[in-house]
Amino acid sequence: MSRPDPTPKAITSLQNERVKLIRSLEMRKVRRETGLFIAEGASVLMMARDAGWSPKMLAFLAGSAAGGVTKDLVRWAMKADAECLEVSEAVLGKIAAKDNPQSVIGVFEQRWQNPPAATDRAETLWVALEAIRDPGNLGTIIRTTDAVGASGVLLVGQTVDPYSREAVRASMGSVFSVPLARLEPPAFLDLARRWKGAVVGTHLDARTDFRKQTFTQPTLLVMGSEGPGLSDTLKGACTDLVKIPMAGKLDSLNLAVATALILYEARRTRLTL
């Protein structure tokens, strides 16, 4: 099979097959079938480049590649033999996000890592998310995982797609730096049984303040879904249960906020200015 021609092609028609493909990647079914996803914005694409990723396709607004960052990104894409599409404003308006649209869009192949292995490395810290439903929460958790230098994010059961437009945008490019893995609940339970360290879950019935938990051994941090929280099945797999103290009338925080608090506590002794 011949390689795609990386020379930028002028695209003005919404009926162009490549434009149709990019638009179709809004649908999870298409992302699953093709193994592709889209990422938008120069800063996000620069993070992809710096993390060693290469696009399969790059679409940019006609005239924007004359200089600056977009020119650099087009060179990067051409060097990777990616298809480069110089699109009209009308086409860009159909393939970019409706709110805060960006002038450059990349199409990438998804990357899924093998699930974490039981390890003796004390610094290992994976975030396991059960049935998370909000793409904004997932993207933010991926971003926080990157910020604290944790090992990766493990999706358990039926979850939102980390490669959806909303999740990628919320990650601010961290989706290109954080290992992502997925397991069904039975396989996760097997991993938890074999885990050589702590399996720490958050639960309203917990009696331990999360700030009292020691994170000196390999850790699986298990967070439940928005609303229902951690299921009884995964709760039973935890070696430790913690909770965040609340002074007001609410009994819980937003999932992404709660995860961030615990991740920073887990990494407190390892993070310095």
- The reported pLDDT for the residue numbered 257 is 97
The pairing of beta strand 152-156 with beta strand 180-183 = parallel
Domains and CATH numbers, the chain: 9-109 (3.30.1330.30), 125-266 (3.40.1280.10)
Q: Comparing 2-16, 104-118, 252-266, which segment has the lowest mean pLDDT?
A: 2-16
Position 7 scores a pLDDT of 77
At residue 77, does pLDDT exceed 90? yes
- In this structure, what token pair is assigned to residue 135? 């793409």
pLDDT tens digits, 120-178? 899 999 999 999 999 999 999 999 999 999 999 999 999 999 999 999 999 999 999 99
List all residues 6 or more positions away from 56 whose beta carbon is below 8 Å from its beta carbon: 36, 82, 83, 107, 108, 109
Output the CA torsion 182→184→187→191 (10° steps).
50
Q: What pLDDT is attached to residue 6?
A: 65
Q: How confident is the model at residue 73 (pLDDT cuts 50, 70, 90)?
A: very high
Q: Among residues of the chain, what percentage have pLDDT more than 70?
A: 98
Contact by Cβ (8 Å): 181, 115: yes
Place of tokens 């996760």: 188
Q: What is the pLDDT of residue 261?
A: 98
Say which amino acid occupies 63. G
List, for residues 40-55, the tens digit of each pLDDT value.
999 999 999 999 999 9
What φ, ψ does residue 135 adopt, rounded to 5°? -65, -30
pLDDT at 1: 42
Average pLDDT on 104-129 reads 95
Q: What is the pLDDT of residues 241-254, one digit of tens each?
A: 999 999 988 888 99
- What is the rounded average pLDDT for all residues in the chain? 94
**Strand-pair partners of 202:** 242
pLDDT at 3 over 70: no
Which residue intervals of 1-152 are DSSP H helices? Answer: 17-24, 28-34, 42-50, 68-79, 89-95, 135-148
pLDDT average, residue stretch 223-232: 94
Which residues, in sequence order, are bridge partners of residue 149? none
Has residue 4 got a pLDDT over 80? no
Residues 256 and 141: beta-carbon distance below 8 Å: yes
pLDDT value of position 142: 99
**Three-class secondary structure of residue 220 per DSSP:** strand
Q: How far apart are CA 54 and CA 78, in angstroms?
A: 10
The pLDDT of residue 251: 80
pLDDT of 66 above 90: no
Q: Which residue has the higher pLDDT, 261 or 10?
A: 261
